[in-house]
Amino acid sequence: MVKHRSRPGWTDVEEYLSATLVQGGPGMEAVLASIGAAGMPRIEVAPTAGKLLMLLVRIQGARRVLEIGTLAGFSTIWLARGLPDDGHITTCEYLPEHAAVAAKNIAAAGFADMVNIRVGPALDTLPTLLAGDPYDFVFIDADKANNVAYLQWALKLTRSGSVIVMDNVIWEGTILHPEHDPDAAAIRAALDFMGSNPALDATAIQTAGSKGWDGFAIAVVQ
């Protein structure tokens, strides 16, 4: 008799990849648990994607990172893990409740001195960052409606050679029919901006797994 097994799915493969390659450690499990415990939405990046952020930061040799959309600090901690000891992250979070959970998680992970959480609408915070040095790496992962505005701010706050990563650029494929979903339309506008702006050289990768069908765009500032 042939032994029948159920066909592996995207999430099974992601679990295997996480267990084999990511090994976030007990601290990262606690961060994930804190999201559910605080009643926050489970919209953090997958562990495999978090580690991708860490590796991209390392590969680029970034020292200064800007994040838009903190939630509980899961992606923030992955970004911080890719930085040298004198690295810095500014992360923008609209909701004080989310920022409070993130601050606790970031401190527990040992990155309190490296991370500055700026509470409030990111579009209020971003202009205040013009006074500082340019950022080497930007991760955009907040309200999708403002994605084009975030890209425009990212261009003002970076230098030639900086990297911009944007989460959720596939949105279950709805970017091809954005008529009924304002978020899908805004994501598509951001992709169109990346593809047509000579200041950016970009691509996007689709992902499938625990976060459904989605993906990242990655761009280098020219």
Q: Which is nearer to ligand SAH, 45 or 170 (CB)?
A: 45
**Judged by CB under 6 A, how many residues of this single chain contact ligand SAH?**
18
- List the interface residues with ligand SAH, window 98-157 (CB under 6 A): 98, 121-122, 141-143
- List the interface residues with ligand DHB, window 127-146 (CB under 6 A): 141
Q: Does 67 participate in binding ligand DHB (rule CB under 6 A)? A: no
Position among 17, 32, 43, 95 found at the interface with ligand DHB (CB under 6 A): 43
Q: Does 14 participate in binding Mg ion (rule CB under 5 A)? A: no
- List the interface residues with ligand DHB, window 158-177 (CB under 6 A): 167-168
Position among 32, 38, 95, 204 found at the interface with ligand SAH (CB under 6 A): 95
Amino acid at 118: R
Position among 24, 47, 69, 87 found at the interface with ligand SAH (CB under 6 A): 69
Closest CA to 145 of 122, 128, 129, 125: 122
Closest CB to ligand DHB belongs to which residue?
43
CB atoms within 10 A of CB 68: 27
Distance between alpha carbon 213 and the CA centroid of its chain, in Å? Answer: 16
Q: Does 167 participate in binding Mg ion (rule CB under 5 A)? A: yes
CB of 205 to ligand DHB, least distance (A): 14
Alpha carbon dihedral 23, 135, 156, 131, in 10-degree steps, equals: 130
Contacts 24+ apart (CB under 8 A), 124-128: 125/92, 126/68, 126/92, 126/150, 126/153, 126/157, 127/153
Residue found under tokens 């970017």: 175
Tokens of 204: 């996007």
Q: Does 90 participate in binding Mg ion (rule CB under 5 A)? A: no
Which residues sit at the interface with ligand DHB, rule CB under 6 A? Answer: 43, 141, 167-168
